[in-house]
Amino acid sequence: MLLTVDVGNTRIKVAVFEKDSILMHAVFLKDEAEKKIENIFKNFSGITFSVFSSVGKLDESVLNLLRRHSNLNIISSETHFPFQNKYETPKTLGVDRMVLASGATLLFPEQHRLIIDAGTCITYDFVDAQNNYLGGAISPGFRLRYESLHNYTAKLPLLTLEQPEGFIGNSTKESIHSGVVNGIVNEIEGFIERYRQEYQHLTVILTGGDAEFLAKNIKSTIFANSNFLLESLNHLHNYISDND
């Protein structure tokens, strides 16, 4: 069994895999990590390997816990990835983006891939059919947009994500929801269309915490999977093991 651990900006996502099947997955806050992961090892005594990626900070005690209970593989910019990194500043490319690009490369061979990760930020990552990672884009996600409207104005309220009642907001609340939700949906649709104009046979993968909500609003053909990063960690770990 393999334990995959992804540390994001605000939360930690974990999953236990038996080959390519997810036996369990969970999401929790960073201050819960040590207790939650300890319980996972107790409940799944067959875990022999763990793979870890992080864009946020995590206590060294959690890494030590993973090392005590398993053979730990930490993903970094030095990892052997299944694509050629053409990013102009490869050392600044987030590990989460490289993991997603790896999963797309391994699961969708010989085609162009656009991976959209909708979380705190929305990231766009493109890997061409020749397995070259070319880059992408980063923009604010739902929470950042709602908070920005509240924090940088005098009177706009702080709202949380809701489906707008209509395209034309007939109140301040509905206008904010329409602006944030339709703004992101149109942004994503625009990115997909732009890529499809330049690259035929494009596979679009939508993932992240807000993927399920967005999938209901996006008209373009996409492959939506909120667990794609954890699954990508599993496939990348197997790729590294097979190519050592």
CA distance 56 to 145: 20
Q: Where are the alpha helices (H) located in the chain, listed in sequence order?
A: 33-43, 60-69, 95-107, 142-151, 172-177, 183-198, 211-215, 228-242
Q: Count other C-beta atoms under 10 Å from residue 117's C-beta.
A: 28
46 contacts: CB under 8 Å, gap ≥ 6: 1, 18
Positions marked active-site: 96
Contact between 81 and 209 (Cβ < 8 Å): no
